[in-house]
Amino acid sequence: MDFEFSEEQDAFLKEVVDFIEANRDPEVMDVLRENMAQLVDTPKRRAFMKKIGEAGWLGMTWPKEYGGSEGEGVYEYLLNEALARVGAPQIGKGVGIIGKTLIRYGSEKLKKEFLPKILVNDVEFAVGYSEPQAGSDAAAMELKAVYHADRKGWVMNGQKIFTTSAHFADWYWVGARTDPDKPKHQGISLFVMPMDQPGIEIQRMPTIGDEITNQVFFNDCFVDEEYMVGEQGRGFNYIAEALDLERFTMFTYSPIAARLELLQEYVRSETRDGEPLKDDPVIRQTIAQLTTQAEVARCLGLKFVATSMKGGKAPTVEASEYKLFATEFSKRVANESLNVGAAGGQLRVRSEDGAMKGRAELTYRYTVIDTVGGGASEIQKNIIARRGLGLPKNF
């Protein structure tokens, strides 16, 4: 497999980098937000993403009939990675997950209503799969949706948890159990509904990584039947495909590489007990191992791009391979940064006296979150074992 970019792709990347430099703003670009930097959660961040849309860079892989340019997935990859490296908001859920799913399965009404808005960043979504008793096992969700023929829609009761964008999103992309008597994988349907719908209550939940997620309660919350995505009872299949897209789109490689570069620079320039850290054989071995693993993570990401060039159904095994390795590697970089930083590495982020200005302390707390979001590492191992290696369910 050729991991080099073409002249056209390099030229596009330069165009994106120049755009970023021309729009530099610390309120829009903040690497210290870690993976939460991807969120379009402030007016300035929305305005920035509108400029991305005006440049024609949102929905590049979409079919032309829906406003896309049918470009290769590598261009979307280059855009997202360049944005992620500087802590800017990224294409995220609207373009990378919800838009692609609506193109494949949504009704013409939903396509006409949402796809044009996504392309110009006029709408933000929250994703509701997890529940208190159904984390990475989406098929175990119990949010109840009952059909009311006289109202021509569904009434929902129950709870979601860890909905990261609920406190600022416009619409909710949410799974609910519509067929309780069917096997759990066949009884779920997928909906889109306004976040300000009567009956929805949002409660914020601070995280260990200094960011906000939410729990969402549904109390006789109504959604019109026209806002069901695809067929009734097929929601789990759509969610599974959307999760494959999420595992790649939402967990970018560039910020991990940047943190590794920060650690490498710290080792090159710092001393301990009068001796350069770069001469310590244990630290040298650690840096060598992390540098090798970084290349593996990068190549796994490019492998995913190469196998899903046109933005169709994402390859499940490749998505899980990348998500598992990249997020666990990110956690290893954070752990080793804290180890190498020693006592100074434990000082809080933005501390001038802390190792790497406190970045190690922050990433040590934050990177655990990425190994859970989008399906925990244990789930990714099961997918690889069963679908990639053909092992039985109970091996």
What's the CATH number where 317 sits? Answer: 1.20.140.10
Pairing type for strands 200-206 and 271-272 reads unpaired
* Together in a domain, 155 and 184: yes
pTM of the full structure: 0.89
* Together in a domain, 50 and 147: no
* Together in a domain, 221 and 269: no
Which residues fall within 8 angstroms of residue 292, CB to CB, at 6 or more apart? Answer: none
Choose the final residue of a domain: 67, 90, 113: 90
* pLDDT interval class at 114 (50, 70, 90): very high
* Together in a domain, 81 and 135: no
pLDDT score for 2: 61
* Together in a domain, 58 and 148: no
* Together in a domain, 186 and 266: no
Count of domains forming the chain: 3
pLDDT score for 134: 78
- The answer to whether 335 and 324 have CB atoms below 8 angstroms apart is no
Output the average pLDDT for the chain. 91
* Together in a domain, 320 and 362: yes
* Together in a domain, 381 and 267: yes
pLDDT in tens, 131-147: 998 777 788 899 999 99
CA–CA distance, 28 with 50 (Å, rounded to integer): 13
pLDDT exceeds 70 at position 190: yes
* pLDDT interval class at 102 (50, 70, 90): very high
CA–CA distance, 151 with 312 (Å, rounded to integer): 35
The H-assigned helical ranges of 204-249 are 235-249
Q: What is the arithmetic mean of pLDDT over 296-309?
A: 79
pLDDT in tens, 21-79: 999 999 999 998 988 888 999 999 999 999 999 999 998 989 999 999 888 888 988 99
80-89, 243-252, 256-265, 376-385: the lowest-pLDDT one: 243-252
Q: What is the arithmetic mean of pLDDT over 230-243?
A: 91
pLDDT score for 373: 82
Q: 120 lies in a domain?
A: no
Q: 333 lies in a domain?
A: yes
* Together in a domain, 75 and 132: no
* Together in a domain, 225 and 263: no
* pLDDT interval class at 312 (50, 70, 90): low
pLDDT exceeds 70 at position 109: yes
Percent of the chain with pLDDT over 70: 96
pLDDT exceeds 80 at position 248: no
Sequence letter at residue 31 = V
What region does 260 belong to: left with phi over 0, alpha with psi -120 to 50, or beta? Answer: alpha
pLDDT score for 1: 58
pLDDT score for 349: 84
Domain that holds residue 137: 127-232
* Together in a domain, 305 and 376: yes
